[in-house]
Amino acid sequence: MEHVDVAVVGGGPAGSAAAHAAAEAGASALVFEKGVPRADRDGLGPDSTDAAGILDYWVDIMGIHPDEFPDGILLSELDRATFVGPTESCVLRSTGIDSSYDTFGYTFDRAAFDDWLRERAEGVGADYHLGVTVKDVETDLGSDPRHTLRFADRDPVGADFLVLADGPQRTVTNRVLDRYLASPVTDHLGTTTANHIAYQEHRRLPAELAEELRGSITFWWGHIPGHTAYPWIFPNDDNVARIGLTMPIGLDLSSVDDRESYALLRPDDDTVPSGGEYLRRLLEHEYGDEYDVPEDFPLVEERGKSSGTETYPISSTRPVDSPVDAGIAVTGGAMGTTSAFHEGGDHVAVRTGAIAGELAARGDLSTYNDRWKDAIGDEILRNVTMADMVQDYGPDDWDDIFRTGRKMLADEGGYQMFEQKFSAGLDAAKLLLRYRWGKYRNREFVSIHESDYVY
């Protein structure tokens, strides 16, 4: 049986970062990636897609500066984020967090980024096996190696350390963690309850609109129902944008209050509209007076996973600690990392993967749970708190928060507005108090603690 120091399940950003860190530190690292075909990729690769945008301080969290990218990954520079409510809006021109990156952020080609991360890992000696599905992992803490990975059509592989990086679908992660918990892991990481679903299309914008939106990631809040449900537009290159949305899985419209107040719902909707229908309605709502929708927004079929479109899960729960005493680290979307409200984020995936790989190479994962919290804990706490604050928001609430946000942003930039004094009026004071109380209440933000695992 082949024996490696570090076995990694999943070849997306977290898995490739783990393999890179482990191999760079001198360990033998082997990545198993089942691989999926994509229209925008020549070969197989991970099915880990998202809107692919990075903010300035996320560059430092991720630990990879875009100056390191080869041509074709970075698509456009960003200078702002625009938040659009039913009648109010708010523009964020600074995150307010110190960063080594000079601009507000950037958008990038996610498939090209994934492929580069793989090449980067292989460049320092990691092995990357594509088209391989891990069926199960058996762990015996008294054996050498501790972990045995089993497959349908190849011999088992043994490993001293196991890094789980199989993303929000958690096909292997949930099976492994379940063996160390007194209650089902799906109580915390069930794929239909702990994830959102996202859908996006690559469309070419009319030239005038592309220029208007250039530099801005734009989000529409209060236009579709559901907790942290929103459409977006991310500018890419050559007047092409990713137009998409995020929404909970299995939302029942009959449970939605004031349905008529959501701009993208129709009175005759019996079920939640499809992603494609929602996006058509968004374009009509915002730009239908000036443009012929969808004629003036043609689908760019050579981009994206399938003919210009992509559907994918997003981790939308609180993160979990890892059973480090068993030599196991859970990373990225598999652990439920939450950023930008309920979105896993490439930056936290890369950072948690890199920490896991580094520690595994040293032969000791015992500090992993403390290390990832030191690296991304502030980010997680801020976004868990924000997600809780807006749990029951409807369209009017989003208008209120954007109206208040404009007053607060007049004095402070970005997230630092939550650290200002109570000087922007009563509504701002209420918002600040809710946020600070929420941060205190959520200070223990993991949903499975290290002490919950039984060996």
For position 431, what pLDDT does the model report? 72
- CA–CA separation, 172 and 439 (whole Å): 32
For position 342, what pLDDT does the model report? 46
Alpha-carbon distances, residue 335 vs 45, 154, 315 (angstroms): 21, 27, 8
This model's pTM is above 0.85? yes
The whole-number mean pLDDT for each consecutive block of 10 residues of the chain, a chain of 455 residues, reads 97 97 98 92 85 92 96 96 94 88 94 96 97 95 95 95 95 96 91 89 98 96 94 96 94 92 96 97 98 96 93 89 98 80 77 98 98 94 88 93 77 55 56 78 91 95
- CA–CA separation, 341 and 323 (whole Å): 26
Both ends of the chain: CA-CA distance in Å? 25
In the numeric block, which tokens belong to residue 372?
Answer: 């990832």
Question: pLDDT for 20-37, tens place per residue?
Answer: 999 999 999 999 999 988
Domain boundaries, the chain: 195-313
For position 388, what pLDDT does the model report? 87
For position 416, what pLDDT does the model report? 58
- CA–CA separation, 226 and 256 (whole Å): 8
For position 441, what pLDDT does the model report? 86
- CA–CA separation, 232 and 219 (whole Å): 4
- CA–CA separation, 139 and 186 (whole Å): 20
Q: Are 328 and 322 in contact (CB under 8 A)?
A: yes
